[in-house]
Amino acid sequence: MSEMKEMILDAAGRMLKENISKDVVDLLERDDWARGIWALFEETGMFNVAISEKHGGAGGDLEDLLHIVRLTGKYAAPMPYAESTFANFLLEATNQAIVKNIATYSLKEGFHLQNDLISGSLHNVRWARHADYLVARVDSFQGTQIALIDLQKATIEHSNNLASEPRDTIILDKVKPISIAPLSEEQLFYTLSIETAFKIALMTGAIERIYEITVQYSKKREQFGRPIHRFQLVQQHLAQLAGETAIAITAFHNVCAAIQSKDFLHEIAFARIRIEDAITTITSVAHQIHAAIGMTHEYTLHQYTRRLWSWRDEGRNSPFWSNYIADYLLKHDVDLWAYLTKTIGKK
Amino acid sequence: MFQLPTVQFTEEQEAFRLEVRNFLQAHITKGTFTPAIDSWLSGVDPSFSKLIGEKGWIGLTWPKKYGGQERSTLDRYILTEEFLAAGAPVAAHWFADRQTGPLLLRYGTEEQKQFFLPKIAKGECYFAIGLSEPNSGSDLASIRTKAEKVEGGWIVNGQKIWTSNAHVCHYMVALVRTSPYDEKKKHSGLSQLIIDLNAEGVTIVPIKFLSGEYHFNEVFFDNVFVPDNMVVGETGNGWEQGLAELAFERSGPERILSTYLLLEELIKELKHQKNKDGLKQATKLLAQLWALRNLSIGVAKLLESGNAEDVAIPASLVKAIGTKFEQSIPEIARLLVETYPNLEAKRKFDRYMAQAILHAPSFTIRGGTTEILYGMVAKGMVEK
């Protein structure tokens, strides 16, 4: 990462840290969101990272964007940053003009194209009620396409995930898309893997935060006359937390490194499978160390554990990627060690 | 939270990996060795060690003037990984290569370096690690074997236990008490001595392992004379010197790959049976291996920059999680492919399964128990 990029990340981290308190995250529960931070992000060009120059991008690459997404996960930022930037990523990937307003996306099946008009319904679309545009997968006899849709023309039914983040149902009835472009099988897989990388980034951020607040708590909280981190059994929990956090962070960094090399599908698959496992351990251990206080709404731990429990089921999750790897191993006569060390076919 | 570097291997490193792999494959085909689980600890074959020495693959990172190749820590990482993945019998020289060499390079006298290192690098001189004693397992500060100063050297009395492969080793680096035991300062007064295992007064008694094999030993010292020039580093500094070795000992691929052969065989069997459900379940193991390699390679990269203090905690973590992983492979594999574990079985899966089950309990004990490592990691976390 260049110095310039580090400055962008520093700025993003500071904005989030200074502006997001527990109350701001709780806005979601009153069906509101962090418009102020959104405006700050807009002013400082955080939405143009990883957008090409021909579309008015500010320089920077996918790795930088993933790091900002990780920070929004770390502060549980209640705004559709990952969704908006990924929607624009999809538009760019299919050579369509990007949008400036709030956008969301969906890569699930549910929309069909007939006579150039889109109909159908999609469930669990992130942030749809607050978005102006939807970038969605549309299937037709001509194959899969990516369409840009004006959400004013949609019916939106509200629904939330475990963390009160908007996950709405969108119903379209013969709506004409603003633009539409084909998506090849290969491109579809590429976009699914980048979507997974975005989720891995969010999850890693939340995991980092859980680690921080749990270690802090174990130092502050006293029982039987000493801080709880001094108890051997609590230490066993803490060490497990450290191990799973280290695995998640290192997996994320390796995904970032691999994404530059194009040969990264298996890395994304392994990272997603392993991080979902880490989430099981981390959420349970963090709550156990916090004991009663961690279960109250007043304390912040749940803002991260509820998100992780939701996010691990969103997008292409570990069953999908396990299936992908199993298929690959069945269809190819590869030596396992060569596969793991990325030396297939080399002698 | 600590952050470990990510590593993309270079083309030269990849070529080296393939060179080692092809060499090992050729020797498997020739019948030089039969691949086996946990071969880095139980696969003793002095003639194979000499072959490795001839290739220049022992002491790979050491200075050329002591018989080394001056190559990088990452090259050494690749080399050891290939040995483990092939199940090669490298146990004879393993500890001398991994621990004694780096110890002597850091603390040894010029005379010791010139005498021992070239012999180790040739694969002709093996070292045992003399840490554990009957009443001090994880609590090393409680060791009692003592060395008393006499004219020209030291007289050693006491006992070491769980000493891997002492019966084939030429020397032992023993941690001994050179000042009387003081309850309040348990860590001070310890020193590292090189003891000739053929010296008068040394008795080696094998301990039969639960698999029926011998690799552990009890080693007794009855008035064994150790000359002054066989003290490593400073007298009384043994504890600090010993700690410096541990990062090398704990973070290596041998804490992840001891049962790799079984995992490979599991995937082969599942593919052969076209068992997609089984393969899907096995991907959890592959993802875990991928994640652990990233951690372990990251620690190797940190070690290359020479910052041993920064890596103590991550190295302990790699050891703790890595050994649980290698231990879990037979437990998961037996649920996915029907097996009758048997050390003499013709089918590799059954044979590796038997070797893996019988060796697995030791993984989370040798080199520091998981419980002790977890305690160290937790202390490191709250101190930050």
Superfamily of domain B129-238 in the CATH hierarchy: Butyryl-CoA Dehydrogenase, subunit A, domain 2 (2.40.110.10)
Domain B11-124: CATH superfamily is Acyl-CoA dehydrogenase/oxidase, N-terminal domain (1.10.540.10)
Query: Shortest CB distance from B6 goes to which of A254, A271, A329?
Result: A254
Q: Give A 309-328 residues with CB within 8 A of chain B.
A: 319, 321-323, 325-327
Q: What confidence tens digit (pLDDT) does each residue in B226-254 have? A: 999 999 999 999 998 887 777 778 889 99
In tens, the pLDDT along A273-322 reads 999 999 999 999 999 999 999 999 999 999 999 999 999 999 999 999 99
Find the CB nearest B279 among A219, A245, A329: A329
- Please answer whether residues A248 and A207 qualify as being in contact, where contact means their C-beta atoms are separated by less than 8 angstroms: yes
Which whole number is the average pLDDT over B329-344?
A: 98
pLDDT digits (tens, 9 = 90+) for A106-138: 999 999 999 999 999 999 999 999 999 999 999
CA–CA distance, B213 with B138 (Å, rounded to integer) = 24
| Cβ–Cβ under 8 Å, residues B176 and B202 | no
Fold of A1-79: Butyryl-Coa Dehydrogenase, subunit A; domain 1 (1.10.540)
- Max Cα distance, chain A (Å): 74
**Cut 0.80: pTM above it:** yes
- Chain A stretch 221-250, residues whose beta carbon is closer than 8 A to a beta carbon of chain B: 229, 232, 234-236, 238-240, 242-243, 245-247, 249-250
Distance, CA of A271 to CA of A318 (rounded, Å): 9
State pLDDT tens for residues B125-145: 999 999 999 988 778 888 999
All residues of chain A having their beta carbon less than 8 Å from the beta carbon of residue B317 are: 239, 242-243, 246
Q: What is the DSSP letter of A202?
A: H
User: Which is nearest to A237 in space by CA: A272, A204, A286, A199?
Assistant: A286
Coil vs helix vs strand at B248: helix
What is the fold of A100-183? Butyryl-CoA Dehydrogenase, subunit A; domain 2 (2.40.110)
**HEC assignment per residue over B68-95:** CCCCCHHHHHHHHHHHHHHCCCCHHHHH
Domain assignments of chain B as residue spans, ordered by start: 11-124, 129-238, 250-383
Choose, out of A247, A285, A335, A339, the residue to mutate when testing the contact with B (most B CBs < 10 Å).
Answer: A247
Q: Which residue of B has its CA nearest to A216?
A: B382
3-state percent helix, strand, coil for chain B, nearest multiple of 5: 55, 15, 30
Alpha-carbon distance values, B318 to A33, A64, A272, B39, B328 (Å): 41, 28, 20, 20, 15
Segments making up each domain of chain A, as ranges: 1-79, 100-183, 186-340
- Which of left, alpha, beta for B105 (phi over 0: left; psi -120 to 50: alpha)? alpha
The beta-strand segments (E) located in chain A are: 103-106, 111-114, 117-126, 133-140, 143-150, 155-157, 167-175, 179-182, 222-223, 226-227
Can you give the pLDDT at residue A1? 56
CB atoms within 10 A of CB B32: 15
Assign domain B250-383 to a CATH class: mainly alpha
Total Cβ atoms within 10 A of residue B185: 10
Beta bridge partners, B203, equal B220
Given CATH 1.10.3720.10, say whether it is the number of domain A186-340.
no
Picking from A200, A250, A260, A263 by the largest number of B CB atoms within 10 A of its own CB, the best residue to mutate is A250
The pLDDT of residue B349 is above 90: yes
Whole-number Å distance between alpha carbons of B81 and B17: 9
List pLDDT tens digits, range B3-61: 889 999 999 999 999 999 999 999 999 999 999 999 999 999 999 999 999 999 999 99
